Structure 1
């Protein structure tokens, strides 16, 4: 089967298991997950969905998220969207279908399923829809669409740096530098566009307001006694400028007569938000950006090992709580300022601890074929930085191994942080990948060779620490007795992979 047919088949297999096209309200994807908005959560057949070969796991949040892995999700999503559109187009002209006799008439089972789905959705939202988390989710929604460009340009920047250091292809390196830097030079415009889109304004007006930040002519503007510089304030300034533009635009829409709205509203939006950006936001955001860069440098130069231990150890819990989204604008600000973020390689050690823990679980539960099968299928994605299958399918349901996985991440983070403290910066030119997938994006202040060596050694420390912590401290005697029963014993029974974990822990 060709790659195109394989991705089409995956999409076609997923669609009926999520309730069909009529149950899908929105389709999007991030680095690893197909994110679906659903009308009725009760129509989803979870176990059959998880059993699909291409599906690495599922996560419920404000959207229903199907983990497919990097690369795969970007190819499956358009196939899935096309299937949804085609199915909706076929059903649109038809008159309302008669009640299904198997589901009752009108007010029977259909309403019960709808009520059940609404209850499940409300329960999930109650846990994850605090104002702070909703705000962080909106910030993440602004930056997630930019990640593919950050990755592509970051890899080109790394390739260009290698060619420059080797004095190869001198006629090509200026072109590569232009490709790598062009997007970063205009990233404020894209941030402004997506900010306005996320907060309910006109996206192009958000981009227009944010574009003044990167315009070369701002060097002639004086604010707070200083001349501005192009790019000052960066993505933080763009966020503030576009958000203010949305507020002004909505104010105008409520008050400006419809007959002149098309002329007045865009003009007032760009004028008011633009002036506020030039004479206030750019300077203030620039100061905050400088503080963020200085704080990261100070943190790792003075407390590198300790800071790395905390960051590497706490990152998995932050992901579970959704608080890691607050780091996205910080990463982007560091990349804008220094060319790379020193935080991401440390945080990536959390994935190394998770992999080490999974290997230890594999050996400790030598007779539990269901868990070992899950680990075998999820381990290689884990090495490449896709940790959801191991987290949600193995360590988190077990409990203690999740904590020991965090311990492995802490020791890996401490190792990389120590080298930062000793003067060897280990950074990433883009956000998104981790694990082995981060190698092409590495950069630092002492050459690529040393940077790669420190990061690789940090991964090894994370693997070993996660393995040892889990092997020796990840299980109580009771857990081992219950989870590692012989295959033919009553404890095993005829259960599906993963069911025993949910029952015993």
Structure 2
């Protein structure tokens, strides 16, 4: 299998089933590529079975299933490179987080924004064209045509929490429609109105500090993350008869008030403190305040702290006719746009260039930086930092000259006339130019080059990267030697070349040949056994590294230091449940000991959905080992020896 060309295999399978047009959908589970064909008669099953790397082909559940084994994620990734069939959550493994906490945070934000980058870029570009049209008198700002076009351009930014609810739900494996309902509540007109009114707000007698959640980012992401814990808890404790409607009901009742009563106050108090500090700095050191505003305005927006500064800007405009707080914002915005422009010229990644072009244009002309930041600068990190650096210097220069805006405008090139009559317009232009030059130059010289082959996920494309899926031995699980007992009292041991693989769950042992899945029963995936589980707690049968952890929580691959590769597959065909009833306790890359919890499964959910709960434990690299001997049958306790392996 190691010599198989998976790119060629993906193309041969595609051809064998009648081409992309004959495939209605494509997913994969732990061992097989699952295709729904429009016309089964066009598929040459015999030819596909003869392909190197294909174990067998079967038709079940309305699917054309090509059994690949451990390397199915690699084949699926290659299929995604030559078709538009795959998506980023169809059973692929959760990416392993790397780096410090801040880098992981950036990676999280970037991955959640990735699917909506193209619509954001398109809307930003439209907004830039509308700004030009109204600025140069081509379109009457008061016309109904402009109202309709402005709504078209603004909607995705205004309702951004609802869009992010969908992508965050995929990331955190929550019910996306419940997530959308939470996001919708945050931007519901009456909630927006409560945030705008001066009167105190309370919920059931509890004071609520309101904020405006339109265009916000972090509140909905935090809400969906917490939603996942609430849903999984409710799934475990609620009776199955009422679970389907009670879980979203209780989740909404808990999450919406919780977000309003926690995120709102925290963000509001933080932004008020920030506003007070910056206003004070404008009094004794305008250049310092300008440096903070110019450098960190986009960071404030990211965390929702900018809402505390907006009232100050509006108050300045109403009382003195201009706002000094807005003076450094041109440098802040255009420096990020300049960094994005530098990426456009520097990167070899075609997908990234495609995003960077319109994103830079919308930043320069309309002051819309979401596509630039979330689609380009933030995922690449360095351009974002260089944009901050340019903003710091440019903002300090603009504020030192007393620059300010005479109207509430989006900071952009087209908005520069609003800054012409306050303070030194020359220093505003100089500061802006310096910010642009610094951000562009640093990014162009020191920014990531990105190779063309790395086209990808961060650029908002739908093509999954091969590196984001499990490697060739993804579903194999090795066992380490001399394993100490776990807290549960179980152990997998190696003595004189013998490795004991323990039962991951208590229950009745079933010979692999009697399992109700012909692929597993045939032994094509390796030797092992089935266990009809007595409870829903599934533990690791061996000590090693998690090489594969399906998002659906139904299958795990573990590899030991001894080279033993084990697949734990909870239930038969349970990938169809799409994670319902499953809660994974580990992710890919984690080290586990024999007896550590892998997952919790609600057996009632599986049974009521019509699926077999038999849990399979298989040594997937049987052919490379001396011998693999499963127990003959009987009842096993969790931790009992289930398979004896000679390495």
- TM-score normalized by the length of structure 1: 0.46
- Of Structure 1 and Structure 2, the greater helix share is in 1
Q: Which has the larger radius of gyration?
A: 2
Relative to the length of structure 2, the TM-score reads: 0.38
